[in-house]
Amino acid sequence: MLKGGGAGPQRGTHLIDIHAHILPGMDDGPATLDQSLEMARVAVEDGIRTMISTPHCLNGRHSNWRQEMLTACETFNAQLRQRQIPLTVLPGSEACLAPELAGEIEKGRLMTLNDTGRYFFLELPDQFIPEAVKSLINRLKRDKITAIITHPERNATLQQNMDLLSDFVLAGALSQVTAGSITGQFGRHIYKCSAKIVKMQMAHFVASDAHSPTERPPKLFSAIKKLTSVVGKTRAERMMFDFPQAVLDGKDIQG
């Protein structure tokens, strides 16, 4: 829970970042172990203690299947322990919409968030939304697998038509906005889109979507303070603590 009064969280709050590209050499995140370790130090300084690593997959360049992720996380956590960096990195992935996506999840080849089999990150195309999205959400929902749509506020199609996002949420999907969007890092227009999404309760998480220690760092603290000012302390707590913990545990999310 948020420490302190109605003003929001205080330094020292232990945060969960469910979307970060931190493992070295897996995708367009850090290229080297040193860069990954520096990202970990930045995250810890900001209050993050648990992080899900979510490298891209099914995007035509990266696969990052489940077994690869389990091995990579085990290796990286050993490096963190060796350097006494108090961060735990859990396995996940960010899957691009692709014809084979549902089948790969059902076969157990695509990594769900924290390997619980309950939630996965779905990255939609930037410029159009295929009609197959809702049928994919419904198909996986029947197997108790929930799609979490990543950074909808940065998707050009959803910016123009938020009813599409509403349809996906009503079909059973969840969504995650980026910390930098809610703090204004990506500009006024994207901030307004993200604020609208969270006010309408169509967003369920805020995460860093970190890619580097400097350009896209793993930071959440400022975003939580801003989120609290936009939607209030109770909803901010649910989005930043309760819902992410439910993802880690593979439990249901209500609201």
Domain ranges of the chain: 15-249
Is a pLDDT exceeding 90 seen at residue 198? yes
Q: Can you tell me which residue has the tokens 């204004």?
A: 184
H helix runs in 83-231, sequence order: 101-106, 132-142, 156-160, 162-171, 179-182, 188-199, 221-231
- pLDDT confidence tier of residue 176, bands split at 50, 70 and 90: very high
**205: alpha, beta or left? (left if phi > 0; alpha if psi -120 to 50):** beta
Distance CA 160, CA 70 (A): 38
Distance CA 235, CA 239 (A): 6
The pLDDT value given to residue 7: 44
pLDDT digits (tens, 9 = 90+) for 56-77: 998 777 788 999 999 999 999 9
pLDDT (average), residues 148-166: 95
Specify whether the CB–CB gap between 105 and 112 falls below 8 A. yes
- 9 versus 172: the higher-pLDDT residue is 172
Largest CA distance in the chain: 48
Strands 48-53 and 15-20: parallel
Q: Which is the CATH superfamily of the domain at 15-249?
A: Metal-dependent hydrolases (3.20.20.140)
Q: Provide the whole-model pTM.
A: 0.93
